[in-house]
Amino acid sequence: MKKNVLALSIAAMIGGLGATAAMADPVTSKMAADHAAFKAKLDAAVVYEKRDEPSIKSVSDALDKIATAFDEYKKTNDARIEAVKSGASTEALDAKLAKIDAHIEGLGEVKTKLEKMETKLARPGAGEGGRQDGESKEAVEYRHAFLDWMRAPGDHERQQKAATAAKQLEAKNRDGRETRATQTVTSTGSAGGFALPEIIERQIARLSVDISPIRQIATVRTVGSPDYKELFDVNGATFEWLGETDTRAQTNTPDLAEVAPTFGMASAKPQASEESLDDLFFDVESWLTMSAAEAIAQGEGVAFISGNGTKKPTGFLAGPTPVTTADSSRAFGTLQYIASGQAAALPTSADLFYDLVYGLRARYRNNAQWVTSKLVLAALRKYKDTAGQYLWQPALTAGQPATFMGYGITEAEDMPAVGAGAFPLAFGDFKEGYLIADRVGMRITRDEITTPGFVKFYVRKRLGGKLRNTQAIKLLKIAAS
């Protein structure tokens, strides 16, 4: 709230100057007029501040505040629509809507953080403590030796201890007929690095799901080779009803298409000072987990949308050029789009959104989501149906997203902005439509030489991605036709 008080104070000073010297010269008169217009906008706008958000203590509290804010949003937007109809200025109302938009976004972020916190508290504890779910005695010993090595990677004794623990774990896995590549040591650790302990790898993967929006809604497979492929039935086998003695006609053979994700190496480079690593109160495991997860998730988030397939996943917007052709005659691997009807803007009415929804087959609509950026989401809040009801609705229960036309919304900031020829909005069943392939295992190498006083840890992971079923996703294209 401080910045608003400051703005009012400055405005009052300008106003005072304008009042005492308004007749002195044209410049001062102009300042006074500008101030009057500014103050009118300020008075008209309800102040919504993200600074109020720390007072929210629970998910239900956040839901209540979002609902209240959206009620105010609807009233303000209705007033704006009436102003447009009457030819009156909408500048003050636009400013107010922008503030409420920001407030709703902020409340949504707080709700998400609280939900993640509640989920985390419900999980078994993590950190540098004792045995965790699914960890063998050898896995615990390796994890502890690995974290000791991280604190002093130049210590030969710790390095050897970690290498020994890793070999013991590898032997244990072989005896137990396990084949986890993450627990295989390919060097002493000084040159090639160590495999990340499985429990840390799982924590990084879990955090990546929280951060990477497409990973949350796509199909994710764990694979052992970059040659992984899926065969997809394009048309399906034909079907017929028969009586007990009827002749069985041969049904058509399914038309199979190959889906081969393109792979790349995702590399995160978290860096810590030598002093922090020496500090026994510094939680090395949590720091490494969070740093690596954030870096990898941000990079893969871009690739899953627009990656070109060269040493990285192929994003769902980076396949063959989308067309308007219907599912029945469109080539496999190509998405269908519906034009916005505007050369460089979103649709003027909600009709085209209905075309997007019902252009998707019923089997895919059951699990469909909208995928778009925050800016486009703000525009979607203004749309109404023919009965005057708003199509965007806030979440009503914990763990559920806000909806547009009754379908959940996944916010992905790497989606394109609104612009001529862009595809800023997708709708579909991404579990059916997009495949993420994670190679088993992550590796880590340390570097305490290139930046004196700091130790860098290079965390590496191979992953791939590609469109899976192009009938399961539809796009909105910004184009007149």
Contact of 187 with 160, CB cutoff 8 Å: no
Which of 408, 346, 356, 413 has its CA nearest to residue 380? Answer: 346
Phi then psi for 262, rounded to 5 degrees? Answer: -90, 140
Look up residue 458 and give its amino acid. Answer: Y
Strand 219-223, strand 434-447: pairing? parallel
Instruction: Determine how many CB atoms are found less than 10 A away from the CB of residue 461.
Output: 23
Please report, as a single letter, which amino acid is at residue 381.
Answer: R
Q: Are 42 and 99 in contact (CB under 8 A)?
A: no
Q: What's residue 51's pLDDT?
A: 42
**What does the block give as tokens for 294?**
């954030």
H or E element at residue 393:
strand 392-393
Half-sphere exposure at residue 270, Cβ-oriented, CA atoms within 13 angstroms:
21
pLDDT tens by residue, the chain, 481 residues: 444 444 444 444 444 444 444 444 544 454 555 545 544 444 444 444 444 444 666 778 888 888 899 999 999 999 999 999 999 999 999 999 999 988 888 888 887 777 766 655 554 444 444 445 556 777 777 777 777 777 776 677 777 887 787 777 777 666 554 433 333 333 334 334 566 666 667 777 766 766 789 999 999 998 888 888 888 776 655 666 777 776 666 555 556 788 899 999 998 888 888 888 777 667 776 777 778 888 888 899 999 999 999 999 999 999 999 999 999 899 999 999 999 999 999 999 999 999 999 999 999 999 999 999 999 999 999 999 999 999 999 987 777 889 999 999 999 999 999 999 999 999 999 999 999 999 877 888 878 888 888 888 888 889 999 999 999 999 999 999 8
- The amino acid at 315: G
CB < 8 Å & 24+ apart, contacts of 330-335: 330/470, 332/232, 332/234, 332/257, 332/470, 333/257, 333/467, 333/470, 334/470, 335/467, 335/470, 335/473, 335/474, 335/475
Element (H, E) at 271: strand 271-273
Helix (H) or strand (E) holding 124: none
Domains of the chain: 1-44 (no CATH), 137-195 (no CATH), 196-235+253-373+412-481 (3.90.1690)
Which letter, b or e, does each residue of 184-198 get, where b requires 16 or more Cβ atoms within 10 Å of its Cβ? Answer: bbeeebeeebbbbbb
Quote helix, strand, coil % in the chain, to nearest 5: 45, 15, 40
State residue 1's pLDDT score: 43
The burial class, CB within 10 Å (0-12 / 13-18 / 19+), for 25 is: exposed
CA dist list (Å): 309 to 261, 320, 322, 473: 8, 12, 17, 19
Cα separation, 34 vs 12, in Å, equals 12
CA distance 470 to 435: 11
The per-residue b/e assignment along 237-252, b for 16 or more CB within 10 angstroms, e otherwise, is: eeeeeeeeeeeeeeee
- Give the number of other Cβ atoms within 10 Å of residue 401's Cβ: 17
Cα 416 from Cα 306, distance rounded (Å): 9
Yes or no: say if 477 and 422 are a contact pair by the CB < 8 Å rule: yes
